[in-house]
Amino acid sequence: MAEREHVDLPEQPVPPPGEPVHLPGPSYQPVVVAVGLSLAVCGVVIQPIIAVAGAIIALVAIVRWIRDTREEISELPLEH
């Protein structure tokens, strides 16, 4: 059985982070973009109308994703 090494903990506590971390909210747009691109690629082989529909779905989802991201970023404080 392997021996466990002893880990020395620092005597002083770790200081808090310098700035808050911003995480984006949950979104369904990456999934819609993936579905649209999958349809577009499969449509090239199967039927051109499916490729066009998939490309339109992907394009609309990308535009909405960018718009939502810009709105979210504009709400952040300007201190950074």
pLDDT tens digits along 70-79 = 998 888 877 6
The pLDDT-based confidence of 10 (bands split at 50, 70, 90) is low
Whether the per-residue pLDDT at 46 is higher than 80: the answer is yes
Structure tokens at 5: 């090494």
pLDDT at 2: 61
Q: What residues does each domain of the chain span?
A: 29-74
pLDDT at 48: 94
Write out the DSSP string of 56-73.
Answer: HHHHHHHHHHHHHHHHHH
pTM for the model stands at 0.69
